[in-house]
Structure 1
Amino acid sequence: MTDTLVIGGGVIGLMTAYHLAREGRRIVLVEKSDTGREASWAGGGIVSPLYPWRYSSPVQALARWSAGFYGEFCAQLELETGIDPEHQVTGLYWLDMEDEDQALTWARREGCELQSLLADRVRARIEGLGRQYHHALYMPGVANVRNPRLLQSLRAALQANPLVELREQAEAQELLVRSGRIAGVRVAGEILNCDAVVLAAGAWSAGLMPPLEAGGLPVEPVKGQMILYRCAPDFLPSMILAGRRYAIPRRDGHVLVGSTLEHLGFDKSPSQEALQSLRKTAEELLPALADAPIAGHWAGLRPGSPEGIPFIGEVPGVEGLWLNCGHYRNGLVMAPASCRLLVDLMLGRAPIVDPAPYSPAGRLG
């Protein structure tokens, strides 16, 4: 019998399985399509909340721990698999922020380096920046990862581990609960028995929850669309953000621009309206993108949750059912800390952060 069955093959499910297997647990990971092809693949890969000072302390705690973990972890994954997740520290410029004073106060309190600059100083580094911007905040330590390659590397690491079985194109249909504890999962018509289940299915997690007296899981899909430009490798040396939209450079010159925020259920089809809106944003940020070829346009479904605070912990009344979902816009940002926290709780170890804000107890319904 399997020790733990992980439902969901995004960054949260893959990283949870990775850490549990390193602790000697036998893992089966099931994914309804291909691993790493939903929200984790569709996002931008910034290793920070877009506006960290606007988030609650529970989100900031997970983001801060994860930011300090990513560089070494990505290097380790590359050694294990030969696939480079492309963790790179580029820094991030926020342009013409209305709450600059709040941001600077937050940075002083948290001990973060955050510089206030005139836009002309930004243009000395980013020559193609739009002329309409006047002021900027700059945090030099912010990194990004190339999220599709991070997911490929995690998948390869799991495939190489004899304690892990990956089952793709295998939809989890029902959680089986007997006498108040998890007994298994019905997967593609087959019953898989296990001691524990980790529900890490992103926007689809709520649909798998068993009926509970405490109520349902308030996680819902929120659509986001992105476009990708093909540029020269030195076109954009740093990430930039203005008006809730951002541009992210990759090492090979590709530039990601995103993203939309749409409440349209489970529809993840790209739209022409969003494409035109994103192109307008891109050309305002970096006018030269008007002449750059578009290499891709896609959409993904974020797992929206109250205040963007994920659910991490055991479900009250169902022994052996654990949640690691509801990360909203910061799944990749918070993944290392979220998965480490969950493993700490499952193994009865001292947790890396206070688990109370993420506990499903009192938050379901």
Structure 2
Amino acid sequence: MPVAATADVVVVGAGIVGAACAEALTAAGVRVVVVDRGAVASATTASGEGNVLVSDKEPGPELDLAIASRAEWGAVLARLPERVADVEWEDKGGVVVATAESGPLKAFAAKQRAAGVDARLITPAETFELEPLLTRDVTIGVHYPDDAQLQPVLAATALLTAVRSRGSSVRSGVDALSLRTASGRVVGVETSAGEIVCGAVLNACGPWAGTFAAAAGAPIHVLPRRGMILVTAPLPDCVRHKVYDADYVGAVGSGDADLQTSTVVESTRAGTVLIGSSRERIGFDEAIRVKVLRELARKAVGLFPFLGDVPVMRTYGGFRPYAPDHLPVIGPDPRVGGLWHATGHEGAGIGLAASTGRLVTELFLGLEPHVAPDPFRVDRPAVLAA
């Protein structure tokens, strides 16, 4: 097969995580080629809500990464070319509410504050000041000023525009078929458009990362977990923050394969309201399940009663990369020299992308990492279980 290009690193996957890694690498002077069998940001990234959250994570490595990434997004956006810098970033903050027993939410917020999160307990009256249309069944709220939102497709596209502006390339519609190795190290990637000669390959294939890793001779345990979202018709200003019920945190951290739903409601700059969220491990089954949509709608009306009179314009869903221990997989693979992974973020990939890109770059260049990398190692038992 003819040589199509040369690069220091080939990034396989042009979603938000692959784009953030490519942007960080090229900002540090690394030559990159990004390939994706589909269009840029057309899979998992296109099915996300754009959340950049610190409010939904238990204290531990993922929360540490989330706090760092929330700060890192500012630096990343400042590096973007001016013509693409608007990614609909909103410092809207988040509000988490309980409508029954308030003790678990209070305890969770206290643990987060101890870990450095700005988590402010607020009374029902203060909650209604922030969100006047909330149900009056609220018993307590927690305000998270640092929660933010962006438009994920715009963000991934802008990141890859920055990659191109630095002389690296992005190739959509190009399938990475296999690795070429010599003496146990990567020397190239065979693609549907020819061979790309390189010294390293980054697996940023999202829910398909396990398939790519297995083909590369280094299998990892990353599975698809499906989520669905409802989108209303455009509305006047009605939901001011990202608002969700206290059950959401438990659903995020659960490993159950069966359907789980919790209420998440937020508006977009276009005026639509996004309603989630669901999680279920059903492989790559794309069938629309009406029972899931009904459950999302029912719970959303319980949180915001006015939504009962609002038409739903469309629904969409997607697959998120799930690792059994709920931690991303970030770093080099010790089994194949030059093979790297950045996957397993599940529904948090958009928020964690900025620090993931920085961490990959730091490890690749031998720099001091800004967060502890060991919890995200590829060779941990949960990732190599398969």
Q: When the two structures are superposed, what TM-score results if normalisation uses the length of structure 1?
A: 0.92
Aligned to 2:174: 170
Aligned to 2:315: 297
Gaps of 5+ in 2: 1-5, 249-262
Measure, in 1, the Cα distance between the counterparts of 2:222 and 2:103. Answer: 30
Superposition deviation, residue 103 in structure 1? 1.9
1:240 is aligned to 2:243? yes
CA spacing shift, 1:178–1:246, aligned 2, 3 Å: same
Contact 2:54–2:146 at 8 Å: present in 1 too?
Answer: no
1:311 paired residue among 329, 352, 362: 329
Measure, in 2, the Cα distance between the counterparts of 1:138 and 1:251. Answer: 21
1:271 is aligned to 2:289? yes
CA spacing shift, 1:156–1:297, aligned 2, 3 Å: same
SS in 2 for 1:354: coil
Superposition deviation, residue 26 in structure 1? 1.9
1:223 is aligned to 2:226? yes
1:105 paired residue among 105, 110, 120: 110
**TM superposition outliers: structure 1 runs of 4+ over 4 Å:** 210-213
The residue type equivalent to 1:81 in the other structure is: R
Gaps of 5+ in 1: none
Aligned to 2:375: 357
1:27 is aligned to 2:45? no
1:66 is aligned to 2:69? yes
Contact 1:203–1:219 at 8 Å: present in 2 too?
Answer: yes
1:123 paired residue among 108, 128, 137: 128
Measure, in 1, the Cα distance between the counterparts of 2:109 and 2:335. Answer: 44
Contact 1:71–1:87 at 8 Å: present in 2 too?
Answer: no
Measure, in 2, the Cα distance between the counterparts of 1:45 and 1:168. Answer: 22
Contact 1:70–1:87 at 8 Å: present in 2 too?
Answer: no
Superposition deviation, residue 216 in structure 1? 2.5
Measure, in 1, the Cα distance between the counterparts of 2:74 and 2:266. Answer: 18
Measure, in 2, the Cα distance between the counterparts of 1:268 and 1:160. Answer: 36
Deviation per CA, 1:47-95, whole angstroms, max 9, x where unpaired?
A: 115522x25x110111010111223433543x53335112111221111
Q: CA RMSD in A?
A: 2.1
Contact 2:9–2:31 at 8 Å: present in 1 too?
Answer: yes
Percentage of matched positions with identical amino acids:
27
Measure, in 1, the Cα distance between the counterparts of 2:229 and 2:271. Answer: 16
After superposing the two structures, state which structure 1 stretch, 81-90 or 218-227, moved more.
81-90
2:364 paired residue among 342, 346, 350: 346
The residue type equivalent to 1:287 in the other structure is: P
Measure, in 1, the Cα distance between the counterparts of 2:213 and 2:238. Answer: 46
Superposition deviation, residue 147 in structure 1? 1.7
The residue type equivalent to 1:294 in the other structure is: V
The residue type equivalent to 1:209 in the other structure is: A
Superposition deviation, residue 230 in structure 1? 2.8
Contact 1:80–1:157 at 8 Å: present in 2 too?
Answer: no
The residue type equivalent to 1:223 in the other structure is: R
Contact 1:249–1:255 at 8 Å: present in 2 too?
Answer: yes
Contact 1:231–1:292 at 8 Å: present in 2 too?
Answer: no
CA spacing shift, 1:100–1:231, aligned 2, 3 Å: same
Superposition deviation, residue 320 in structure 1? 0.8
Contact 2:214–2:220 at 8 Å: present in 1 too?
Answer: no
Q: How does 1:199-210 map to 2 (within 5 A)?
A: 199-210=203-214
CA spacing shift, 1:83–1:337, aligned 2, 3 Å: closer
2:49 paired residue among 44, 54, 76: 44
